[in-house]
Amino acid sequence: MTLEELDLKYIWHPCSQMKDYEELPPIIIKKAKGIYLYDKDDKQYIDIVSSWWCNLLGHCNETINNNIKKQLDKLEHVIFANFSHEGAIELTKQLSEIVPKGLCKFNFSDNGSSAVESALKMSFQYHYQTNNPQKTKFMCLDGGYHGETIGALSVGAMDLYAKIYKPILIDSIRIKSPDCYRCEFNKTRQTCDTECFEHVKKEFKKHGKNTAAIIIEPLLQGAAGMKIYPAKYLKKLREICNEYKVLIIADEIATGFGRTGKMFAFEHAQVSPDIMVISKGLTGGYMPMSITITTQEIYDAFYAPYSEGKAFMHSHTYSGNPLGCAAALGVLKVIKDENILKIAQKNAKYLNENINLALKNHKNVGEIRNIGLINAIELVLDKDKKIDFNPKDRVGYQIYKKALKNGLLLRPLGNVLYFNPPLNIKKDEIDKAISLCLKSMEEILDK
């Protein structure tokens, strides 16, 4: 049997209709370096989506590799209740210096969804233990994505992932989200005054009293199609949340670590969330690790004699895993030593200018939106009327397959193609990715 056949015999791949694999078998990757993946026949692919947005600094980065190798011979894992280790201590110390102001206590999990679960439980329990037991609800934005465990799905508002599970999900309050490309107030990004914030106001008036927390993806709704909304929205959200004593959970799993041009997206709004969740870029895509970070005030509401039963009884076996911490320390070292945020800002400008030059005038490109290095290309059937393609045609998927043939890993969200490359991508690699993207688009759309 070939590797592909063996794969299909045993493996149920994530987020896939396995029947699609009849036509597009799994691509067996043998090795990777920087932005390139190499399959078993040595064909190379540009990984322009950072392998599910986590590969922050390219594949097989020497500094991160060495950090993990060194750690491996010292300590691979230790129970994290009552025990600790240098890596976790050093990592949280360094993170405390770069996270938004006020965030100072670090609770480890091992994937994004689990860290979201931790944040939800923490918010509920915080209110319960500070004489607000009526605050039991969660709010979220339409199109929001926070992971795929039951709790995370309950505050996710993308039918694609959640619809079938509705009967077993927690009922949360969905707020109509900003949609800047198709603004219902007929504003543009330039003329916007966050008119759509009135949807938030309306729901707070109705449900604010009973709401424990609102969870959001700051500035960028990733899975919804890389939808980008203004920082002013977060500022207003901070104000209304203060008024109603609703906690803000910032899901920075996708936006953290320089993806939006600043270390964390919330910095653009110059306010802080009450809880921030990070994963993905945290270990540069090396090890499954996530952290739920909160304030002294929330932490203090759990701090009491054991007999009062106020502890946060939440744990994951791999909490604070030393290899994960070593990877994360490697990421922070590269970011600092190589001045990565500066480089990313330059790259972002170059990528955005050139992607616009190459693609903007194509008849099916409705909008190219960008934040940091993230550039999303929304494909539409009719540009003037912003009419979508028929989802049944799976135009994005056709382009995805074509791009793979051409040596580019694009993996669109519906009909939104996007670039979300490592922050240290090189200019010639950007050029190459853009031209492969255009070629793949033309092969499908202009035939």
Ligand X SMILES: *Cc1c(COP(=O)(O)O)cnc(C)c1O
- Residue with nearest beta carbon to ligand X: 112
Residue type, 182: R
Q: Which of 34, 143, 147, 412: binder of ligand X (CB under 6 A)?
A: 147
Which residue lies nearer to ligand X by CB, 50 or 440?
50
Please state whether 226 falls in left (phi above 0), alpha (psi between -120 and 50) or beta: left
For ligand X, the closer of residues 47 and 251 by Cβ is 251
Output the CA–CA distances (angstroms, integers) from residue 86 to 64, 141, 415, in the order listed: 17, 38, 46
Strands of 374-379's sheet in order across:
365-371, 374-379, 416-419
Instruction: Give yes or no for residue 321 binding ligand X (CB under 6 A).
Output: no
- Nearest-angstrom CA–CA distance, 142 and 140: 7
Distance CA 341, CA 445 (A): 36
CB of 203 or CB of 252, closer to ligand X: 252
| Distance, first Cα to last Cα, the chain | 37
Alpha carbon distance 213, 119 (integer Å): 9
Q: Which positions make up the binding site for pyridoxal 5'-phosphate?
A: 112-113, 251, 316-317
Asked if residues 101 and 272 have their Cβ atoms less than 8 Å apart, the reply is: yes
- Binder of ligand X out of 88, 173, 215, 254 (CB under 6 A): 254
| Amino acid code (one letter) for 213 | A
Rg (CA), the chain: 22
Chosen residue from 47, 251, 274, 378 binding ligand X by CB under 6 A: 251
Which residues define the annotated binding site for substrate?
52, 145, 280, 315, 411
Please compute, for residue 167, the number of CA atoms within 13 A of its CA located in the half-sphere on the CB side.
1
Q: How far is the CB of 222 from ligand X (least distance, A)?
A: 5
- Binding range to ligand X, per CB under 6 A, among 58-66, 250-258, 355-363, 418-426: 250-258
By CB under 6 A, tell whether 55 contacts ligand X.
no
- Judged by CB under 6 A, does residue 322 bind ligand X? no
Adjacent-strand bridge partners of 108: 291
In the list 57, 253, 373, 374, the residue contacting ligand X (rule: CB under 6 A) is: 253
SS3 122: helix
Site track for ligand X across 104-133, x = CB under 6 A: -------xxx--x-----------------
Closer CB to ligand X, 116 or 234, in the complex = 116
CB within 8 Å of 313: residues ≥ 6 apart: none
User: Which positions from 191 to 230 touch ligand X by CB under 6 A, shown as an x/- string?
Assistant: --------------------------x----x--------
Site for ligand X in 256-285 (CB under 6 A): 279-280
CB of 134 to ligand X, least distance (A): 28
Nearer to ligand X, 111 or 424 (CB): 111
Length of the chain (residues): 447
Residue ranges binding ligand X (CB under 6 A): 111-113, 116, 145-147, 217, 222, 251, 253-254, 279-280
